[in-house]
Amino acid sequence: MAVLVTGGAGYIGSHMVLALLDAGETVVVLDNLSTGFRSAVLAPATFIQGDFGDETLVRTIIEQHGITAIAHFAAKIVVPESIADPLGYYLNNTAKARNLIASAVAGGIKHFIFSSTAAVYGETGATAVGEDTPLAPVSPYGRSKLMVEWILADTAKAHDFRFVALRYFNVAGADPAGRSGQSTRDATHLIKVAVQAALGRRPGLSIFGTDYDTPDGTCLRDYIQVSDLADAHMDALRYLRDGGDNLTCNCGYGRGYSVRAVVDVVKAVSGVDFPVTVMGRRPGDPAAIVADNTRVKAALGWTPRHDDIAAIVTQALDWERRLHNREL
Ligand code: UFG
């Protein structure tokens, strides 16, 4: 009985591998290392370099390793990149996910956990977005993920197969024990970019848009700590194994921080007043996106343990410092 983690060499996937190993599970990672790192997959997890869309490969892995559940993290995740390269996103995030799901069904896998995204909602205007909010993604990235939610729902109707789709809000921070963190090259995510600016790895930070309809004019996001997010997946795995039905849940803390507020926290925690430039809006950015997390708490029993923006920034800074010093 083993769990297959696609994208397990990446940022969020590597934290899931840690959570699984900590729980005594047998883990197999499938990752093509396009953005992940071999060194992020810690022993005793088995690492296989390859493409999750390769049905022959995935069928072989399922059979050879006795896989009984799949947690699918491998994806392209940068909203502006998805606008420039929609076909790349629909191939990688949608078409290949369809192949992975087909491999799962053919291999008799009954439990599937999918990394979905708050980007499926688009511009809601709501202060806290519930799962039943009408879905209107504003980027190819959001649409590429939403289509997979639909594929999963249809597959679960036709086959002996159940899934949990977790819609992530803005994931940040690092394993509190320092075993993993965000090592992504050319990262674009706010907290990562800001800690790099604080450590002098970038000349400064640009704020994309200060004219949004929000309290300080910058976008509001719900920043969730990465180990808390991995724990939600562990809860989802338990839920499916206990016979839980198909489920789609938001994963966020239910509280928004503005871009300016995050920049202030990074400056305060690092003690560095790095330069900040105001730029125009970035395409594909909703003004505010904050989770209503009632369902993930009630249905999965998820209990966040790291809901503290200063601690999240401290973890990101510590990890970045170690990357910078080539300790990793
Ligand atoms: N931002 C800046 N400057 C930067 C980087 C980001 O001002 O250098 C702003 C963005 O414009 C946005 C906010 O910070 O307003 C957050 O941007 P990120 O790039 O960190 O994250 P996104 O909100 O675009 O997207 C992330 C994930 C998606 C997920 C989404 C859900 O990448 O997978 O959060 O809210 F769907």
Protein residue whose Cα sits closest to atom 18 of ligand 1: 189
Q: Is the ipTM of this complex over 0.90?
A: yes
Protein residue whose Cα sits closest to atom 14 of ligand 1: 190
**Interstrand relation of 67-72 and 220-221 (parallel, antiparallel or unpaired):** unpaired
- Whether residue 79 contacts residue 141, with contact meaning beta carbons closer than 8 Å, is answered with yes
Distance CA 143, CA 316 (A): 29
Task: Check residue 160 and give its pLDDT.
Answer: 98
Count other Cβ atoms within 10 Å, centred on residue 204.
13
- One-letter amino acid for residue 21 of the chain: L
Task: Check residue 284 and give its pLDDT.
Answer: 79
- Mutational test site, ligand 1, from 92, 282, 289, 290, max ligand atoms within 8 Å of CB: 282
Task: Check residue 327 and give its pLDDT.
Answer: 59
- Identical fold between 2-172+224-251 and 190-221+254-327: no
267 lines ligand 1 (CB under 6 A): no
Question: Tell me, which fold does domain 2-172+224-251 have in CATH?
Answer: Rossmann fold (3.40.50)
221 lines ligand 1 (CB under 6 A): yes
Domain ranges of the chain: 2-172+224-251, 190-221+254-327
Read off the tokens for 232: 């939600």
**Interstrand relation of 111-117 and 170-172 (parallel, antiparallel or unpaired):** unpaired
Question: Tell me, which fold does domain 190-221+254-327 have in CATH?
Answer: UDP-galactose 4-epimerase; domain 1 (3.90.25)
118 lines ligand 1 (CB under 6 A): yes
Q: Which long-range CB contacts under 8 A does 310-314 form with residues at least 24 apart?
A: 310/265, 310/268, 310/269, 311/173, 311/176, 311/225, 312/172, 312/173, 312/191, 312/223, 312/225, 313/172, 313/173, 313/191, 313/194, 313/195, 313/262, 313/265, 313/266, 313/269, 313/270, 314/269
169 lines ligand 1 (CB under 6 A): yes
Task: Check residue 328 and give its pLDDT.
Answer: 57
265 lines ligand 1 (CB under 6 A): no
Of 261, 252, 168, whose CA–CA distance to 207 is shortest?
261
200, exposed or middle or buried, with CB in 10 Å at 0-12, 13-18, 19+?
Answer: exposed
290, exposed or middle or buried, with CB in 10 Å at 0-12, 13-18, 19+?
Answer: buried
Check whether the bond before 44 is cis (ω within 30° of 0): yes
Which atom of ligand 1 has the smallest separation from the CA of 80? 24
Count other Cβ atoms within 10 Å, centred on residue 301.
11
Supply the residues annotated as catalytic: 141
- Whether residue 166 contacts residue 226, with contact meaning beta carbons closer than 8 Å, is answered with no
208 lines ligand 1 (CB under 6 A): yes
Cα(265) to centroid(ligand 1), Å: 16
- Mutational test site, ligand 1, from 285, 292, 309, 312, max ligand atoms within 8 Å of CB: 285
285 lines ligand 1 (CB under 6 A): yes
- Whether residue 137 contacts residue 109, with contact meaning beta carbons closer than 8 Å, is answered with no
Cα(190) to centroid(ligand 1), Å: 6
Distance CA 184, CA 168 (A): 18
189 lines ligand 1 (CB under 6 A): yes
- pTM of the full structure: 0.96
Instruction: Tell me the mean pLDDT per 10 residues along the chain, length 328.
Output: 97 98 98 96 97 98 98 95 97 98 98 97 84 94 98 98 98 97 91 97 97 96 98 98 98 97 98 98 90 98 98 98 78
Protein residue whose Cα sits closest to atom 2 of ligand 1: 207
Which atom of ligand 1 has the smallest separation from the CA of 281? 11
Which atom of ligand 1 has the smallest separation from the CA of 194? 8
Which atom of ligand 1 has the smallest separation from the CA of 221? 35
Residue with tokens 């209990």: 303
Give the three-state DSSP class for 172.
Answer: strand
